[in-house]
Amino acid sequence: TEGLYAEVLRRPGLMESLQRDHRITLAGPTTLLAMLGSLQMGFRTLALEKRSSEVWQVLGAVKTEFEKFGGVLAKVKSQTETVLNTLNSAETRSRAMGRALRQVEALPEPQAQALLPSDTYADPADSDPV
């Protein structure tokens, strides 16, 4: 075991010849654990590099989508501002009509119902669901 490994190391050029010509790396009981640990660390490093590359690809895709999302968000903001401006205009028109109608005397309910039937102008929110 350890003695055999020491004997190979004592012979000049044997270790180098085995490694160079046959691609054999000799290890004794004490060096085997260190070699295996080194190999394990190398494989872990390779796995981390591979995963790191995958993470960067995902981040690149997310960045592209995030830029598109920003464009959509700007569009939604613009459309919301347009809706708010339209609502403000409608509210202004409603107040103007209200001011003009203050001078008009209101009809009693039955006469108003006769002129403007409630079915025609009913609010859908007031109707009972079937």
Confirm whether 37 is domain-assigned.
yes
Confirm whether 125 is domain-assigned.
no
Is 25 within 8 Å of 35 (Cβ atoms)? Answer: yes
Which structural domain range is residue 56 located in? 2-104
Confirm whether 19 is domain-assigned.
yes
Residue showing tokens 């004997």: 7
Confirm whether 85 is domain-assigned.
yes
Out of 3-12, 103-112, 117-126, least confident range? 117-126
121 CB-near residues (< 8 Å, 6+ apart): none
Angle between helices 2-10 and 29-101 (to 10 degrees): 100
pLDDT at 124: 55
Q: How many domains does the chain have?
A: 1
State the pLDDT confidence band at 43, using cuts at 50, 70 and 90: very high
> Is the pTM here over 0.85, yes or no?
no
Confirm whether 96 is domain-assigned.
yes
Confirm whether 115 is domain-assigned.
no
Instruction: Give mean pLDDT, residues 80-94.
Output: 97
Confirm whether 73 is domain-assigned.
yes
pLDDT tens per residue, range 57-85: 999 999 999 999 999 999 999 999 999 99
Confirm whether 124 is domain-assigned.
no
